[in-house]
């Protein structure tokens, strides 16, 4: 049994296509996408088309929810004011069918696979805040990738493997009770690699494999220009 973990695709269809081609070669049983499918990159609609077409299990992230909140007329998180013009552009250009699909998504996913309880969430949200709207900012600040920080954030979650995203570098930690795994952002990096992960159950039980594949980043950057993506100068400086 193989489960692929994707996260933070962020509107980068070139990176997603490179990963999906790899997954086809690796005979994957299930694919999860742990939020932030849309925004930042130029191709939110194309990303949603691919994910829905493949039956990928999706949950929402902060960018998805901030855009949906604009579409629903329920405001925008104060701490994301700097990205509001960009989110307004995504909201304006998002295919209504994809918005409708995103509105239906949960924030968490959990499955028991071959006796292993696997949990997915975009980032740490305290249990008591898991139904709080994005405008009330229920999420935690990003913490440095260390085992003790992962234990502080996710140690009370009841699962064997906690899969998450949001923080763009890869995280792979374990202690006596849990694995903490973030494969790293699929669609946002300084280099030209699209990151993802494979959870594989074999004779010896579960193994976790961070993966990366190169993609056509030049084409991605050209599409940013061609579509005149708002605030791309800021994103180039910070993230690409
Ligand atoms: Mn995020």
* Domains, in order of start, for the chain: 2-238 (3.60.21.10)
Compute the distance between CA of residue 4 and CA of residue 63 in angstroms, rounded to an integer.
22
pLDDT at 141: 83
Q: Is 220 helix (H, G, I), strand (E, B) or coil?
A: helix
pLDDT one-digit tens code per residue, 178-222: 999 999 999 999 999 999 999 999 999 999 999 999 999 999 999
Expressed in angstroms and rounded, the spacing between residue 36 Cα and the centre of ligand 1 is: 6
Given a cut of 70, the residues of the chain with pLDDT beneath it are none
Spatial CB neighbours of 41, under 8 Å, sequence gap ≥ 6: 9, 10, 11, 12, 13, 47, 187, 188, 220, 224, 229
Compute the distance between CA of residue 54 and CA of residue 20 in angstroms, rounded to an integer.
9
Residues less than 5 Å from ion ligand 1, measured at CB: 36, 61-62, 166
Q: What is the 3-state secondary structure (H, E, C) of 127-166?
A: HHHCCCCHHHCCCCCCCCCCHHHHHHHHCCCCCCEEECCC
Average pLDDT, the chain: 96
Expressed in angstroms and rounded, the spacing between residue 202 Cα and the centre of ligand 1 is: 31
pLDDT at 127: 87
Expressed in angstroms and rounded, the spacing between residue 75 Cα and the centre of ligand 1 is: 18
Instruction: Give the count of beta carbons closer than 10 Å to the beta carbon of residue 111.
Output: 14
pLDDT one-digit tens code per residue, 127-149: 899 999 999 999 888 999 999 99
Expressed in angstroms and rounded, the spacing between residue 148 Cα and the centre of ligand 1 is: 21
pLDDT at 125: 93
Expressed in angstroms and rounded, the spacing between residue 168 Cα and the centre of ligand 1 is: 8
CA-based nearest residue to 32, from 12, 6, 53, 13 = 6
pTM of the predicted structure, to 2 decimals: 0.97
């Amino acid at each position: 049994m193989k489960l692929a973990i994707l996260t933070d695709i962020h509107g980068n269809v070139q990176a997603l296509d490179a990963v999906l081609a790899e997954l086809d070669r690796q005979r994957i049983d299930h694919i999860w996408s742990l939020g932030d499918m849309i925004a930042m990159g130029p191709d939110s609609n194309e990303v949603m088309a691919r994910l829905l077409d493949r039956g990928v299990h999706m949950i929402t992230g902060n960018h998805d929810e901030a855009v949906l909140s604009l579409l629903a007329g329920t405001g925008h998180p104060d701490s994301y004011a700097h990205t509001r013009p960009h989110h307004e552009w995504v909201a304006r250009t998002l295919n209504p069918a994809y918005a409708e699909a995103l509105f239906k998504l949960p924030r968490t996913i959990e499955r028991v696979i071959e006796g292993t309880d696997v949990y997915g969430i975009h980032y740490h949200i305290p249990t008591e805040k898991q139904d709080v709207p994005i405008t009330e900012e229920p999420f935690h600040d990003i913490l440095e990738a260390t085992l003790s920080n992962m234990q502080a954030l996710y140690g009370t979650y009841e699962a064997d493997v906690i899969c998450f995203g949001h923080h763009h570098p890869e995280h792979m930690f374990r202690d006596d009770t849990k694995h903490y795994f973030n494969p790293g952002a699929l669609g946002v990096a300084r280099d030209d690699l699209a990151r993802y992960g494979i959870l594989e159950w074999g004779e010896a039980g579960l193994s976790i494999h961070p993966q990366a594949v190169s993609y056509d980043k030049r084409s991605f950057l050209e599409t940013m220009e061609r579509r005149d993506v708002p605030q791309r100068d800021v994103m180039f400086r910070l993230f690409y």
